[in-house]
Amino acid sequence: MGWRDKFNKCRRVVIKVGTSTLTYSNGQLNLQRIEQLVREMADLHNRDMEVLLVTSGAIGVGANRMGYKKVPKTMPEKQALAAVGQGALLHLYEKFFGEYGKTVAQVLLTRDDLDDRMRYLNATNALLAILAMDVIPIINENDTVVVDEIKFGDNDTLSALVAGIVNADLLLILSDVDGLYDCDPRTNKEAVLQHQVSEITRDMEDKSTSRGSSFSSGGMFTKLKAAQVCMAAGVPMVIANSDEDNVIRRVVGGEELGTLFIPREEKMHAREKWIAFGTVCQGKLLVDAGARQALLNRGKSLLPSGVTGVEGEFDRGTVVAVIEPDGREIARGLVNYAAREIALIAGKRSSEIEAILGEKDYDEVIHRNNLWVRG
């Protein structure tokens, strides 16, 4: 049985809808499409599937309501428009879902909600409790107060994080593109749609630097980042065009629409997900070829002898990125020592730590149990 054949038996589905799906090119709401998508999601819910909706569009809706022809560039104006648009957007969803007898709940998240381990667990439990009440969560970035996510426009990644948090069976990202092509179809008519991807290469990332419409902030690059999260977390992800008739029903039914990103077979543990994706790295550890080999191929902890450099200021117990000699991030983990301490013991044997620091709580800079290694 192929991956698409399994979708019809999904228990929990996350659907991400972008600004370009919700609006016309002039910024006006595409009410017909919104109503159609809501109807399809309500129908999935009628089939006893749990549905989580991650929606963009608050800033775009706010801009439209306030008469803006395009989204302004200053952060305070974007935050103000998000405040105007968020309520209007939720009201619209509530109205459409209510017509099909469905109850919705608004969930606004910031990166801080996932960065702290306890808040990450609280967010997880809240989402699962909402689902247990037979309610459809409508999730968005809290654009009124958050800064980085407005600036970089990353609801694609947010949807992938949500899919990982709740152990979804499928993430479906609806956009204004058919999926991932081998090159830009807008400039090359010979571009070929990739129906299935099992590995995201650097070449794919280099070719995916396009941005979204004037009212959206995403693009294929952020979708590939989302796919990396899902694939590592063991969640299949599909990018499909919201213009397709009955797109949700057809994808969940197993039809070969869009691009399917095939995940790892093994599921990640909750703690490993948080280390890998839930928190922002506070610094970097540069390692030599021997440490790279030990981490990637032998399942070892990171010892001070393999560390060649430290970047950033961080304390014990924070998450940092591990960087191999060619500059690629190969792992993330919780450090046992602060940045200034690691700088002193870098390149040294574990037996020398106490003499250098005056104490030794751990032999390892990052223990294997607190380490996530990229596949």
Q: Which DSSP state fits 77?
A: H
Contact 259, 243 (CB under 8 A): no
Annotated binding site for ATP: 16, 175-176, 217-223
Residue closest to 224 by CA, chosen among 202, 243, 195, 247: 202
Give bridge partners of residue 14 from the DSSP assignment.
Answer: 52, 171
The per-residue DSSP string of 289-308 comes to: HHHHHHHHHS-PPBPGGGEE
Determine the residue type at 369.
N
Whole-number Å distance between alpha carbons of 293 and 300:
9
CA dihedral 158, 160, 162, 165 (to 10 degrees): -130
Annotated binding site for substrate: 56, 143, 155
Residue 217 sits at the vertex; the CA angle it makes with 215 and 220, to the nearest 5 degrees, is: 125
Whole-number Å distance between alpha carbons of 210 and 218:
8
Contact 209, 224 (CB under 8 A): no
Annotated binding site: 16, 56, 143, 155, 175-176, 217-223
Residue closest to 208 by CA, chosen among 233, 227, 189: 227
Residues 6 or more apart whose CB falls under 8 angstroms from that of 361 comprise 336
Contact 119, 112 (CB under 8 A): yes
Residue 92 vs residues 56, 82, 213, 232, 321: alpha-carbon distances, Å: 13, 15, 22, 34, 41
Give the number of other Cβ atoms within 10 Å of residue 7's Cβ: 20
Residues 6 or more apart whose CB falls under 8 angstroms from that of 287 comprise 295, 302, 306, 307, 308, 322, 323, 324, 325
Cα diameter, the chain = 70
